[in-house]
Amino acid sequence: MSEYLEQAVEAAKQAGELLAGRFGDHGAVTERLTHDIKLAIDVESQTLITEVLLGRFPDHAMLGEEGTAGDPASEYTWVVDPIDGTVNYYYGIPHFCVSIALRHAERYLIGVVYDPMVQELWTVSENEEPRLNGRPIAVSARAELSEAIISMGFAKRSGAVEQSFPRYQAVAPVVRKMRMLGSAALAMAYVASGRLDGYVEEQVSRWDIAAGALLVERAGGKVVLTPHAGRSDRYSIVCTNGRIPLEELVRF
């Protein structure tokens, strides 16, 4: 395991321990949005991750859902979601994770996704096969949509909802099951592990998917990102095992 990956695992586990220890007693709400929520522990988790990673690599940069840190001119940037699935966490639904990736220029070197509630740790680097708790993983071999399980997230913005339903209507009748799970990083980790065959979302941020995308691609899958016009930090995503023809049904 590379030093970068080793430190990312340490940071993810420490943050996961914090989150699991406070699950059900998460503390203060700092912001309530129409379709989202911000918790003080989001910031606590990212601060802990920042201390671990920039403490070891002080010349690196940090880009996270809760802000930036470090040297903004660095070619090395840690891309972090301190709680992917904050709404699940807030409502006591034990489906959330910590997501950490390291980018050098435009290339992702390593990724870690950690689910502290079931202690599942996904790790990947550009030079090593992806693993779940140390065991090699790969995407599913399913090639027929009729056998596939797909996770799909829906847009909540006015107008965007109308665009989401046609995608659902195109996919739902031809696959085995649809799921809406509430964590982009875990959905991608599940695709990389063969639990899901595809994942579609109208709007994700880079920190939601950075580690998951590397996991899926190194596990043999495919990730297609469509940037949002005028928003370089927002994407639509179609993620598959590389075998099912999901892209033919979903257009962004």
In the prediction, which pLDDT does 2 show? 92
CA-CA distance, 152 to 187, in Å (whole number)? 9
In the prediction, which pLDDT does 28 show? 62
Contact 142, 197 (CB under 8 A): yes
Q: What is the pLDDT along the chain (252 residues), one digit of tens a residue?
A: 699 999 999 999 999 999 999 998 765 665 555 445 778 899 999 999 999 999 999 999 999 988 899 999 999 999 999 999 999 999 999 999 999 999 998 899 999 999 999 999 999 998 889 999 999 999 999 999 999 999 998 766 666 667 778 888 999 999 999 999 999 999 999 999 999 999 999 889 999 999 999 999 999 999 999 988 777 778 999 999 999 999 999 987
How far is CA 167 from each of CA 63, 172, 252, rounded to the nearest angstrom?
31, 8, 9
CA-CA distance, 249 to 220, in Å (whole number)? 21
Helix (H, G, I), strand (E, B) or coil at 29: strand
Burial of residue 43 (number of CB atoms within 10 Å: 0-12, 13-18, 19+): middle
Task: Kindly write down the DSSP assignment for every residue of 37-78, as one continuous string.
Answer: EEEHHHHHHHHHHHHHHHHH-TTSEEEETTEEEE-TT-SEEE
Number of CB atoms found within 10 A of residue 162's CB: 9
In the prediction, which pLDDT does 106 show? 87
In the prediction, which pLDDT does 217 show? 97
In the prediction, which pLDDT does 157 show? 64
CA-CA distance, 135 to 188, in Å (whole number)? 17
**Structural domains of the chain, with CATH:** 3-136 (3.30.540.10), 145-248 (3.40.190.80)
List the beta bridge partners of residue 29: 39
In the prediction, which pLDDT does 30 show? 57
Contact 209, 248 (CB under 8 A): no
CA-CA distance, 197 to 144, in Å (whole number)? 10
In the prediction, which pLDDT does 109 show? 97
**The tokens of 219 are what?**
């596990």
Contact 206, 120 (CB under 8 A): no
In the prediction, which pLDDT does 136 show? 98
In the prediction, which pLDDT does 31 show? 56
